[in-house]
Amino acid sequence: TAWDLERLVLDQFPEIYLARSLSWRHLKTRRPGEMTVFVVPDVRGQDMTDEVAPPAPFADLALRSRIQA
């Protein structure tokens, strides 16, 4: 289920604060059985006032690749 997939991501990646998944029915370009997981990194304790940093937390390419694998 979507809940199970979210828990797997959160258990495997402690640097993720929030995970939400959508089934193919919500995204018409997907095939049955596929899920898309949206993640929010845990930025608690990090300095978010850096002018060079993005205005919102995001998962970098390396983290997204590890989650996808």
pLDDT digits (tens, 9 = 90+) for 4-18: 999 999 999 998 999
pLDDT at 60: 78
Helix (H) or strand (E) segment spanning residue 66: helix 61-68
Residues of the chain with pLDDT under 50: none
Determine the Cα–Cα distance for residues 60 and 55; give it in Å rounded to an integer: 14
Rounded to two decimals, the pTM is 0.68
pLDDT at 9: 92
Helix (H) or strand (E) segment spanning residue 3: helix 2-12
